[in-house]
Amino acid sequence: MRRVAVLNDYQQACLASADWSPVLKRAQVDVFTEPFADEGAVVAALAVSEVLCVMRERTPLPRALLERLTNLRCVITTGAANRSIDLAAAADLGIVVSGTTNGLGRIATAELTWGLILAVARSIPQEDRAVREGRWQVSVGTSLRGLTLGIIGLGGVGRYVARYARAFDMEVLAWSRNLTAERALESQARCVAREELLRRSDVVTVHTVLSEETTGLIDAEALAMMKPSAFLVNTSRGPVVREDDLVAALREGTIAAAALDTFDQEPLPADHRFRELPNLVLTPHLGYVTRDVYAEFFEETVRSTAAYLNGEPIRLLTQGGSPATAVVRRYEDG
């Protein structure tokens, strides 16, 4: 029987988020709820799989791994892009790669960003812990009204973050390499140089895509430009912020506090230094983890998987640009 694997379903939510009967009519669906320890574990678990349904970048699919999955013919990823999949290698190996839309995920991530900003500004996690431990009012918070929000990356998520900032009466600055003053004004933000944004902002929030240019963008030099009273929030991708530099900045008081939803290694290792920092709020990559986003992701995953199994056209995933349409050979054709 044909085999379809769903990877990294941490909350065991995939089967409840969509009607999988169109897939189950044609294939066995294997759901994996834990992260894989290493590449060997991935190969051992997925050697029989013809189709992989992957959740964002939780399990990277580089060329070396794809070459070892000799039965793999199709990958469906949630989201409109996935930079952890080697698309060139997939094409060389005859593996079809498709994706879903990501409209609701952007809104959900922007909402979580504001949750983290408020959590840091008002020390909500620390106060919650204190109350549970029998203490009362252990911090003095920061009001956001009249402060300056700096958005690094005014794209799909950043635009919503800027829009929500109006409710808090904050001044909004924005920067990215290709941002123009006109595009910034569309979000009622002001386009400034990166250095000015870092120096003036009371809250810096990161929403840029991960690339060679943005890896390590927030390093020791960037953190040193920020106010000692400033907060840093990252709901983008972990490697945009240099972890060692952030640890040092939080320990030394270079900045006041930070909140992170993404990390270099996920899940976060049990002995990671981030867990020891009292001025750091941590969430486990929850940006897009909501019921409506999962419904959107998995309903489209089911449609694409069923189409592939039936030999019908599906969209090809591309890194940038519109997805092309591919007609896949029917399974019976070999």
Domain boundaries, the chain: 3-102+291-333, 104-282
Per-residue tokens: 288: 């897009």
Can 272 be counted among the known catalytic residues? no
For residue 195, the model assigns a pLDDT of: 98
Could you give the dihedral angle defined by the CA atoms of residues 254, 258, 263 and 266, in that order, rounded to the nearest 10 degrees? 130
Q: Annotated catalytic, 285?
A: yes
Whether 329 has a pLDDT exceeding 50, the answer reads no
Compute the distance between CA of residue 74 and CA of residue 247 in angstroms, rounded to an integer.
40
Tell me which amino acid residue 47 is.
A
pLDDT of residue 319: 58
> What is the length of the chain?
334
Active-site entry in 111, 196, 266, 299: 266
Lowest average pLDDT, out of 169-173, 257-261, 316-320, goes to 316-320
> In this model, does residue 331 exceed pLDDT 70?
no
Residue 298 φ then ψ, to 5°: -80, -30
Phi, psi of 228 (to 5 degrees): -60, -20
Nearest Cα to Cα of residue 192 among 134, 234, 7, 204:
204
Q: How many H-runs (helices) and E-runs (strands) does the chain carry?
A: 13, 14
Dihedral of the CA atoms 288, 290, 293, 295 (nearest 10)? 140
What pLDDT, on a 0 to 100 scale, did the predictor assign at position 23? 98
pLDDT tens, position by position, 8-51: 999 999 999 999 999 999 999 999 999 999 999 999 999 999 99
CATH class in words for 3-102+291-333: alpha beta
AA identity, residue 118: L
Considering 73, 159, 207, 237, which one is annotated as catalytic?
A: 237
Place of tokens 């924005």: 174
- Three-state DSSP class for residue 275: helix
Give the DSSP H/E element, type plus range, for residue 51: strand 51-54
pLDDT surpassing 70 at residue 228: yes
Same topology, domains 3-102+291-333 and 104-282? Answer is: yes
The whole-number average pLDDT for the span 164-176 is 97
Q: Report the pLDDT averaged over residues 64-76.
A: 97
DSSP conformational letter for 134: T
The CATH architecture annotation of domain 104-282 reads 3-Layer(aba) Sandwich (3.40)
**pLDDT 10s digits, 103-156:** 899 999 999 999 999 999 999 999 999 999 999 999 999 999 999 999 999 999
pLDDT tens-digit profile of 177-196? 999 999 999 999 999 999 99
pTM: 0.91
Q: Is the pLDDT of residue 323 over 70?
A: no
Torsion of CA 24, 26, 30, 36, to 10 degrees: -130
Indicate if the pLDDT at residue 301 is higher than 70. yes
Give the pLDDT of residue 316. Answer: 85
- Residues of the chain with pLDDT > 90: what percent? 90
The helix/strand/coil state of 148 is: strand
Among 184-188, 197-201, 291-295, 314-318, the range scoring the smallest mean pLDDT is 314-318
> Would you call 129 a catalytic residue per the annotation?
no
Model pLDDT, residue 80: 86
In the predicted structure, residue 52 carries a pLDDT above the cut 80: yes
User: In b/e form, how buried is each residue of 307-329, taking b as 16+ CB within 10 angstroms?
Assistant: bbbeeeebbbbeeeeeeeeeebe
Catalytic residue among 285, 296, 300, 315: 285
SS3 label, residue 56: coil
What average pLDDT score do residues 46-64 get?
Answer: 95
CB atoms within 10 A of CB 39: 14
| pLDDT tops 90 at residue 328 | no
pLDDT category, 334, cuts 50, 70, 90?
very low
